[in-house]
Structure 1
Amino acid sequence: MPDLNDIATFVQVVRCGSFAEASRRMGVPANTLSRRVQLLEAQLGIRLMQRSTRNLALTSAGEVFLERCSAAVDGLMDASQELQAVNQEPSGLVRVAAPADFFDFFAMEWLTEFLATYPKVRVDFVLSDGRADLIAERIDVAFRGGILEDSGFFARKVLEAGTDGMVASPAYIAQRGVPATLQALADHDCLVFSHPSGKGTWRITGPGNTESEVQVSGRFSGNTAQALRKAALAGLGIALLPATLTRRDLRAGLLVPVLPTYHRRGHGVNLVYPSRRYLPLAVSRFIELVVQKMGSADALLTDGTPDAP
Structure 2
Amino acid sequence: MNTVECIEVFVEVAKGLSFTKAAERLGTSRSVVTKKIAWLEKTFETQLLQRNTKRVSLTESGEILLRNADSVPRAISELKDLVRSSVQRPTGRIRVGSPPSFGAVHLAPAIQAFLETYPEVQVTLQLDDGRSDLIAENMDLSVRIAPRLRDTSQIAYKIAVVPQVLVATKEYLERLGRPIHPVDLKRHNCLLHSLKAPTGSWHFTDDKGELHTVQTSGSFNSNLGESLLHLAQRHYGISMHPRYMVEGLIADGRLKVVLPDYKCQGLEIYAIVQSKRYLPYKVRLFVDHLRTHFQDTNWVSPSVGT
Q: TM-score, normalised by structure 2?
A: 0.59
The answer for the alignment partner of 2:126 in structure 1 is 126
- Bigger Cα Rg: 1
The answer for the alignment partner of 1:209 in structure 2 is 209
> Residues 190 and 218 of structure 1 are in contact (CA less than 8 Å); yes or no, is this contact kept in structure 2?
yes
The answer for the alignment partner of 2:31 in structure 1 is none
Letter in 2 for 1:209: G
Deviations 1:83-131 (A, max 9, x none): 9389712211212122244434325344345445444322223332252
State the identity %. Answer: 30
The answer for the alignment partner of 1:237 in structure 2 is 237
Runs of 4+ in 1 over 6 A off after TM superposition: none
The answer for the alignment partner of 1:282 in structure 2 is 282
Pair 1:264-2:272 in alignment: no
State the superposition RMSD in angstroms.
3.9
The answer for the alignment partner of 2:160 in structure 1 is 159
**Structure 1 residue matching 2:106: 3-state secondary structure:** coil
Deviations 1:153-203 (A, max 9, x none): 2x322112x4433221223223333123334323322211249xx993323
Larger CA deviation: 167-176 vs 109-118: 109-118
Q: Distance in 2 between matches of 1:92 and 1:210?
A: 49
> Residues 159 and 296 of structure 1 are in contact (CA less than 8 Å); yes or no, is this contact kept in structure 2?
no
**Structure 2 residue matching 1:212: 3-state secondary structure:** strand
Q: TM-score, normalised by structure 1?
A: 0.59
**Structure 2 residue matching 1:213: 3-state secondary structure:** strand
Letter in 1 for 2:259: L
Instruction: Figure out how many residues of one structure are paired with residues of the other and give that number.
Output: 227
> Residues 206 and 263 of structure 2 are in contact (CA less than 8 Å); yes or no, is this contact kept in structure 1?
yes
Structure 2 spans left out of the alignment, 5+ residues: 7-35, 40-79, 302-306
Letter in 2 for 1:157: K
The answer for the alignment partner of 1:108 in structure 2 is 108
Q: 1:202 to 1:113 in 2, by over 3 A?
A: closer
Deviations 1:62-100 (A, max 9, x none): xxxxxxxxxxxxxxxxxx79x938971221121212224
Pair 1:98-2:101 in alignment: no
Q: 1:117 to 1:205 in 2, by over 3 A?
A: closer
Structure 1 spans left out of the alignment, 5+ residues: 8-39, 44-79, 302-309
Q: Distance in 1 between matches of 2:113 and 2:184?
A: 48
CA deviation after TM superposition for structure 1 residue 269, in Å: 0.6
**Structure 1 residue matching 2:235: 3-state secondary structure:** coil
